[in-house]
Amino acid sequence: MLKPQTPIHLSVILSDGPTRSSPNNVLLSEKTADSFLKRHKRENTGRFEEFLPGNLERECIEEKCNLEEAREIFENDEKTMAFWSRYVDGNQCASSPCLNQGSCKDHLGYYICTCVSGFTGTNCEIGECIFL
């Protein structure tokens, strides 16, 4: 669950430039500028984090997660491994390697094509010969 963000209010004062009497009045001090340009951190707080439920964005998107953290998020081995195989090495099925309407299943470091009837091969590239 995402925490609501604190709104930032920014005021802009338009001017023709500095006046002779106060040449630096357009610039703000660092402390004043920081008071309204602060960015709130969204990473893990570190306080009682082990008691919080797993959060995909917090654990694996904003930071690099490990397999144990991913498992805590999904609480299911099959869902964890489906996510992990894409998270660690990308989606080998993204390029659609299975030909002739074969279906692709992504794994860690490899993929498997399941071919429709009449086709074989690693990528379903071999069609059966039909003799009449």
pLDDT score at 127: 94
User: In sequence order, what are the residues at sequence separation of 6 or more whose Cβ sits closer than 8 angstroms to the Cβ of residue 124?
Assistant: 98, 99, 100, 101, 102, 113, 115, 116
**Rounded Cα–Cα distance for residues 6 and 61 (Å):** 21
pLDDT score at 1: 45
pLDDT score at 67: 92
Domain residue spans of the chain: 43-88, 92-127
Q: From the options 2.10.25.10, 3.90.110.10, 3.30.70.141, 3.40.640.10, give the CATH code of 92-127.
A: 2.10.25.10
Digits of tens for pLDDT over the chain (132 positions)? 445 555 555 555 555 555 555 555 667 777 777 666 665 555 555 555 555 666 888 788 888 889 999 999 999 999 998 888 888 888 899 999 999 999 999 888 899 999 999 999 999 999 987 776
